[in-house]
Amino acid sequence: MPPEQHLIRYAGHGDFAPDVIARAAGSCVVTTDGRELLDFTSGQMSAILGHSHPEIVATVRDQVARLDHLHSGMLSPPVLDLAERLTGTLPPPLDKVLFLTTGAEANEAALRMAKLVTGGHEVVSFARSWHGMTQAAASATYSAGRSGYGPAVPGNVALPVPDRFRPGIVDADGRLDWRRQLDLGFDLVDAQSVGSPAACLVEPILSSGGVVDLPPGYLAALRDKCHERGMLLVLDEAQTGLCRTGDWYAFERDGVVPDILTLSKTLGAGLPLAAVVTSAEIEARAHERGFLFFTTHANDPLPAAVGLTVLDVLARDRLDERARVLGERLQAGLRELAGRHPVIGDVRGRGLLVGLELTASGDGAADELGGAVTRRCAELGLHMNIVQLPGLGGTFRIAPPLTATDAEIDRGVAILGTALESALATTAG
C-alpha cells in the first residue's frame, strides 16, 4: 500500500512527492531511506533560515516549556515584544499588528478589515494571483481552485498581470506597456464596479503566477489608482517579506507603503506564524466599527517567540545583504545555463526568489519538459518546484534558504543543468 493511503489528497491534480522525508537540517532534507535532497524551495517557500535552525530549535524548547498557548484575549511578553520589533522594521504609519497562523488567514483578516473600514466590498487582484484557500482569500485567487466550488464572493475582479516576458500590451518597441495595461485594467474594473470599492490585494512579486516582478513604477501607479477610488492597497508579502528579495520588504524598492501589509511564511521561518500590519488610523476605524477576527491561535506566545528569533537572526546576520549576494550568484549561474541551452527563455526575480522559464515549442511541451526536469532533479538530489498553471509548467520557482552557502547554490545550479541536459536528451530521443 502507498504510504499516503490514509491521507486526503489536497493539491488538485498533483500527487505527493514520492519520497517520505525523515529529517531536515540547513539547506537539505533527508528521506527515510537516507537520500539527501538540496532544498531549493525552503520547504513551502518559508524556511528562510534553513531547516532546524539551532536558535529556532532552542527557542521552541524554551518557550513551549514555559508558555505555549493562551486564550485569544490574553497577552504575553513574546507577543508584545514581537509587535514592537516587527513594526520597528517597517516605515510609518505601519505600527499596529495582529498575529495569526497562515497567509490565507492573514489575507482573510486584511480583507475583512478593509471592507469594514471602507464600507465597500469589491476586491481587485491579479489574474494569476494566489492568496489562499479560505473564503475571501480564495475569491481573490485566480491561479487555481476556482472551478467546482460554487460562486466566489461577489465583487472580486481580476487585473491583467504586467508580465514583461509575456507582455499582453506592448509599446512601439515590442516591450510591455504596463501603464496602458494598468489604465485599461482599471477601465474594466470601473465598468464592473457597483460603486463599492474596498481593496486591491496583490503580491509585489507574483510567485505562483510565474515569479513575475512588478515593473519599477507599477506599484506606485497602482497605489494611486486605488486611492483615487477610495480603495486600500493590501500587499501580500508572504514570500517576499523579511529579506528574501534583498530588502527587508519588497515594497521598499518602489518606496510605496501599503495601507495594510500581510506577512506569513517567512515570519515564522517555516513555523505557522502570520501577521496583519496596518496604521493606527485604520486600526482605530476598524475597532470603532467592531472589527472581529477572533481565532483560536491569534496572538499565541509560542510562534511569537519564534518570530522574535527570526528577526534577531535576520538582523544580526544581515541576511538581506546575503540574499542579494546569493541571488546574484544564483542568477549568474542560471544565465550561464541559459547561454548553453536556448530552451531557457528567461531568468528573472529578485534576491533569492528567482524564476527560470523554459520555452519548448509545441502545445504543452514546456510543461512536459518542466515536469521531466523536476523529476530528474529529485533523482540527482535537488528538490525543485514548478508553477502549477497550464502553460506555465515550465517555469521554476527557485527559493533556497537565505542561509545557503555559495557551494550549495553552485551545486544546485549544476544539478539543474545536468537534469535539463538529461531531459532534453530523452525528449530528443
Classify each residue of 95-123 as buried b or exposed e, where b means 16 or more C-beta atoms within 10 Å of its C-beta. Answer: bbbbbbbbbbbbbbbbbbbbbbbbebbbb
Domain-by-domain residue ranges, the chain? 21-52+318-428, 67-316
pLDDT mean over 58-62:
98
Task: Give the class (CATH, top level) of 67-316.
Answer: alpha beta
Number of H helices, E strands in the chain: 12, 17
Is the pLDDT confidence value at 156 over 60? yes
Q: Report the alpha-carbon distance of residue 380 to residue 375 in Å, rounded.
A: 9
- Read off the pLDDT of residues 299-348 as tens digits, 9 standing for 90 and up: 999 999 999 999 999 999 999 999 999 999 999 999 999 999 999 999 99
pLDDT mean over 3-32:
92
Predicted pLDDT at 12: 83
Is the pLDDT confidence value at 175 over 90? yes
Of 137, 141, 111, nearest in space to 208 by CA: 141
Which residue type does 144 have? A
List CB contacts of 212: < 8 A, sequence separation 6 or more: 128, 161, 162, 163, 164, 165, 205, 206, 348, 355
Grid cell for residue 351: 534576491
Predicted pLDDT at 364: 77
Catalytic status, residue 248: no
21-52+318-428 has which fold? Aspartate Aminotransferase, domain 1 (3.90.1150)
β-sheet with 385-386: strand ranges across: 344-350, 353-358, 395-398, 385-386
pLDDT mean over 139-156:
94
Of 5 and 328, more confident? 328
User: Residue 2: pLDDT band by 50, 70, 90 thresholds?
Assistant: confident
Predicted pLDDT at 15: 82
Cβ 302 vs Cβ 104: under 8 Å: no
Which residue type does 130 have? W
User: Residue 387: pLDDT band by 50, 70, 90 thresholds?
Assistant: confident
Grid cell for residue 148: 467546482
When the pLDDT of each residue in the chain is averaged and rounded to a whole number, the result is 96
pLDDT mean over 241-266:
98
105, 128, 213, 239: the catalytic one is 239
User: Residue 245: pLDDT band by 50, 70, 90 thresholds?
Assistant: very high
Q: Indicate the DSSP class of residue 325.
A: H
229, 324, 348, 397: the catalytic one is 397
pLDDT mean over 45-65:
98
Is the pLDDT confidence value at 391 over 70? no
63, 105, 130, 350: the catalytic one is 130
Is the pLDDT confidence value at 54 over 80? yes
112, 265, 348, 350: the catalytic one is 265
User: Residue 139: pLDDT band by 50, 70, 90 thresholds?
Assistant: very high
Is the pLDDT confidence value at 378 over 60? yes
Q: Report the alpha-carbon distance of residue 61 to residue 63 in Å, rounded.
A: 6
Q: Report the alpha-carbon distance of residue 47 to residue 375 in Å, rounded.
A: 22
pLDDT mean over 262-275:
98
- Read off the pLDDT of residues 85-97 as tens digits, 9 standing for 90 and up: 999 999 999 999 9
Is the pLDDT confidence value at 428 over 90? no
Grid cell for residue 9: 489528497
39, 108, 213, 236: the catalytic one is 236
Is the pLDDT confidence value at 281 over 60? yes
Predicted pLDDT at 171: 96
User: Residue 8: pLDDT band by 50, 70, 90 thresholds?
Assistant: very high
Q: What percent of the chain has pLDDT over 70?
A: 98
Classify each residue of 140-156 as buried b or exposed e, where b means 16 or more C-beta atoms within 10 Å of its C-beta. Answer: bbbbbeeeeeeeebebb
Predicted pLDDT at 429: 55
Predicted pLDDT at 60: 98
Is the pLDDT confidence value at 128 over 90? yes
pLDDT mean over 148-153:
94
Which residue type does 16 have? F
Catalytic status, residue 265: yes
Catalytic status, residue 179: no
Is the pLDDT confidence value at 393 over 80? no
Q: Which of 148-157, 229-238, 356-365, 377-386 has the lowest mean pLDDT?
A: 356-365
User: Residue 18: pLDDT band by 50, 70, 90 thresholds?
Assistant: confident
Q: Report the alpha-carbon distance of residue 355 to residue 370 in Å, rounded.
A: 12
Predicted pLDDT at 14: 78
Catalytic status, residue 178: no
Q: Report the alpha-carbon distance of residue 76 to residue 70 in Å, rounded.
A: 8
